[in-house]
Structure 1
Amino acid sequence: MSAEHHPRDRRTARVGLVLFLLTAVLYVATAGYQRVHIDVLSADVGAWRIAATGEPSIDGLDTSSINRSRVDLFSTVHDGRTVIARSPGVVAAGVPAYALRQWVTDAGPDAEDFTTVPPTVTAALLTALSVLLMWGALLRLTTRRRATAAALVFALATPVWSVAADGMWTHTLTVLGVSGMAFGAARDRWLLVGLFGGIAVWGRPHMALVAAALALTCAWVRRRPGIVARVAAVGATLTAGASLWSYWLYGRWSPSGGYAPAPYLSRGAGAQYEFNQTLGGLLRNEAAMWLSLDRGILVWTPVVVVLLPLLVQTWRSQPAWTRALFLAGVGYTLFQGAVAPFHGGDGIYGYRHGLEFLACATPALVVATARVGRRTRVVLTVVIGVQLAAFSLGGVLNRPTLSFRHHWNDNAFVSGLRDVPLLWAWVAISVALVLLLSRMFLREGAREA
Structure 2
Amino acid sequence: MLLVLLVWVVYLLTATYTVSQVNDSRATSLMAWSLGTRGTVALPEEWRGYVPWEAEGVDGSLHTDRFPGSWLWAAPFYTVSEAVLDRGTPPHPWLLNYAPSGVASATAAALAIGVSFMLFRRLAARRLALGAALVLAFATGVWSVSANVMWTHGLTHLTLSLGLLAAAGGRDASSGLAFAAAILTRPQTAVVPAVVGLWRGASARRIRPVVVIGILSALGLLGMVIYSRAYFGTWIPVAGYTPGKVTSVATISWRQFGLNLAGGLADPHRGLLVFTPFLFVFAPFIGRGWRASEWWVKAGALGGLAYFVVQMRANGYQGGAQYYGSRLSLELLVLAAPLLLRTWQAHLSRVPLLRRAVLGLIVVSFTMHAVGATILRSYYGAAESWHPDLAELCEQHQDFYGCVDPTFPVPEG
Could you tell me the TM-score, scaled by structure 2's length? Answer: 0.85
**Secondary structure of 1:76's match?**
strand
Query: Which residue of 1 is the match for residue 71 of structure 2?
Result: 91
Encode CA deviations 1:204-251: one digit per residue, 9 max, x unaligned.
101010111011012113202221122123322343233333334323
CA 216–137 in structure 1, closer or farther in 2 if over 3 Å, else same: same
Looking at both structures, which has the greater relative contact order when contacts are Cα pairs under 8 Å and sequence separation is at least 6? 2
Given candidates 386, 389, 398, the residue that maps to 2:364 is 386
Which SS does the other structure have where 2:318 is aligned?
coil
Deviations 1:167-213 (A, max 9, x none): 11111221112221232233222222212211111121010101110
Q: Relative to 1, partners in 2 of residues 1:256 and 1:397: Cα closer, same or farther, differing over 3 Å?
A: farther
Measured after TM superposition, the shift of residue 134 of structure 1 is: 0.4
Counterparts of 1:31-430 in structure 2, within 5 Å, are: 31-34=15-18, 35-62=20-47, 73-78=52-57, 79-111=59-91, 114-266=96-248, 277-370=252-345, 371-372=347-348, 373-399=351-377, 401=380
C-alpha contact 2:182 2:220 (8 A) present in aligned 1: no
What is residue 404 of structure 2 aligned with on the other side? none
Alpha-carbon spacing, 1:264–1:244, altered in 2? closer, same or farther (3 Å): closer
1:294 and 1:402 map into 2 onto residues whose CA distance is: 16
Residue 277 (structure 1) shift: 4.2
Pair 127,109 (structure 1): closer, same or farther in 2 beyond 3 Å: same
Distance in structure 1 (CA, Å) of the matches to 2:309 and 2:152: 18
- Tell me if the contact between 1:322 and 1:363 (Cα under 8 Å) persists in the aligned partners: yes
Distance 2:32 2:141 in 1: 24
Looking at structure 2, the residues matched to 336 and 398 of structure 1 have their Cα atoms a distance apart, in angstroms, of 26
State the partner residue of 1:29: 13
Structure 1 residues 296-346: Cα deviation after superposition (integer angstroms, max 9, x where no partner): 111111222211223212322210111111111111111111110111111
Q: Distance in 2 between matches of 1:402 and 1:38?
A: 10
> Residue 341 of structure 1 aligns to a residue in which SS?
coil
SS at match of 1:348: coil
Matches of 1:174 and 1:345 in 2, distance apart? Answer: 18
Counterpart contact for 1:52–1:109, Cα < 8 Å: no
What is the deviation of 1:139?
A: 0.3
Structure 1 residues 277 and 231 mapped into 2: Cα distance closer, same or farther (>3 Å)?
closer
Q: Does the CA contact (< 8 Å) of 2:324 and 2:372 recur in 1? A: yes
**What CA distance in whole angstroms lies between the structure 2 residues aligned with 1:379 and 1:99?**
47
5+ residue gaps, structure 2, are 384-413
Q: Cα distance 1:403–1:45, how it changes in 2: closer, same or farther (>3 A)? A: closer
**C-alpha distance in 2 between matches for 1:263 and 1:357:** 21
Q: Give the equivalent residue in structure 1 for 2:395.
A: none
Cα distance in 1 for residues equivalent to 2:152 and 2:382: 21
Unaligned runs of 5+ in 1: 1-16, 269-275, 405-449
Please list the CA deviations of residues 334-378 of structure 1 after superposition, one character each: whole Å capped at 9, or x if unmatched.
111111011111111001100010011101110111122111110
Counterpart AA for 2:112: S
Q: Is the 8 Å Cα contact of residues 63 and 111 (structure 1) preserved in structure 2? A: no
Q: Provide the TM-score with structure 1 as the length reference.
A: 0.78
In 1, Cα distance between equivalents of 2:293 and 2:73: 35
2 CA distance for matches of 1:228 and 1:277? Answer: 31
Between the aligned partners of 1:101 and 1:43, the Cα distance in structure 2 is 16
Sequence identity of aligned pairs in percent?
30
- Residue 266 of structure 1 deviates from its aligned partner by 3.4
- Separation of aligned partners in 1, 2:249 and 2:201: 35
Displacement of 1:97? 1.2
**2:366 aligns to what SS in structure 1?**
helix
**3-state DSSP class of the match of 1:83?**
strand
Give the residue type in structure 2 aligned to 1:183.
Answer: L
| Displacement of 1:60 | 2.7
Maintained 8 Å contact 2:67/2:186: yes
1:291–1:298 Cα contact (<8 Å) kept: yes
The 1-side partners of 2:382 and 2:33 are apart by 29
Q: Is the 8 A contact 1:40 1:169 kept in 2?
A: yes
